């Protein structure tokens, strides 16, 4: 895959939690756009290596690093290794996430702590460390959720809390990094067809009934929006939370 004339040629991207599903699709798309890509994973080295092989087979450059999003030292080390391997960093995609669902009176403190550790603290750590190295004109793209705008079922209050925090962080960070022409945006997917949430799964029909388009999204559709935000056409977009949810929150 020649990077000549590709919109991200010469750029370096780090995608957290990218061994499968949405993260894997994002990593492959950014590589197809010409970027060298680092992916992190927590517990699936085989799947992570498969993503790397797919990128390399297509002619791209990529490495995989084991780094649980809840492990501060591992996350910071992943940023350091990315810079050491590829000579810098231009794009950070905070994709790693945790999902725990239960009514509030049954929600365990362990699940609460993990949700905060991955969805909020881990995102902060990766962003803070990457911001030290991001080149001027860089990109930070958070993967939030339509559930920050709408939580129509019981048990999702803590997940909605963590994703609403991402909205506020995105807005504030856009101000912090604007002097360096670094844009910060938040992609908010709705139901997406993945292994953990298949379009024919037990909750699928309920989810579809809440959506205008009555179908699940695809991982490639989410990757397409990330590709736009990572590229030069989005230079004037920052501090935004962009829904890609089939009308789930409409």
Active site positions, annotated: 159
In this structure, are residues 58 and 36 in contact, taking their beta carbons and an 8 Å threshold?
no
Integer Cα distance of 231 and 220 in angstroms: 16
- The C-alpha angle 245, 249, 250, rounded to 5 degrees, equals 105
DSSP string, 189-241: E-SB--SSS-TTSTTHHHHHHTSSS-S-B-HHHHHHHHHHHHSGGGTT--S-E
Tokens 């049954």, residue located: 106
- Between the alpha carbon of residue 148 and those of residues 67, 102, 112, 137, 214, the distances in Å are 26, 17, 16, 28, 20
């Amino acid at each position: 895959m020649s990077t000549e004339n590709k919109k991200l040629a010469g750029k370096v991207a780090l995608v957290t939690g990218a061994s499968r599903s949405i993260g894997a699709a994002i990593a492959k798309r950014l590589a197809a756009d010409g970027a060298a890509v680092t992916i992190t994973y927590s517990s699936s080295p085989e799947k992570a290596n498969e993503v790397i092989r797919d990128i390399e087979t297509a002619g791209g450059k990529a490495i995989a690093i084991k780094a649980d999003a809840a492990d501060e030292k591992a996350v910071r080390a992943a940023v350091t290794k990315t810079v050491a391997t590829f000579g810098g960093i231009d794009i950070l995609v905070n994709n790693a996430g945790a999902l725990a669902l239960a009514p509030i009176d049954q929600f365990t403190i362990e699940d609460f702590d993990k949700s905060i550790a991955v969805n909020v603290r881990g995102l902060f750590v990766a962003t803070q460390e990457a911001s030290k190295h991001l080149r001027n004109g860089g990109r930070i793209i958070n993967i939030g959720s339509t559930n920050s705008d709408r939580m129509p079922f019981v048990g999702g209050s803590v997940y909605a809390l963590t994703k609403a925090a991402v909205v506020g962080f995105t807005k504030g960070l856009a101000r912090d990094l604007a002097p360096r022409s670094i844009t910060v945006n938040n992609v908010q997917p709705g139901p997406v067809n993945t292994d953990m949430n298949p379009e024919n799964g037990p909750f699928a029909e309920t989810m579809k009934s809440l959506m205008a388009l009555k179908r699940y999204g695809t991982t490639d559709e989410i990757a397409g929006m990330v590709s736009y935000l990572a590229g030069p056409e989005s230079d004037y977009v920052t501090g935004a939370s962009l829904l890609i949810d089939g009308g789930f929150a409409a």
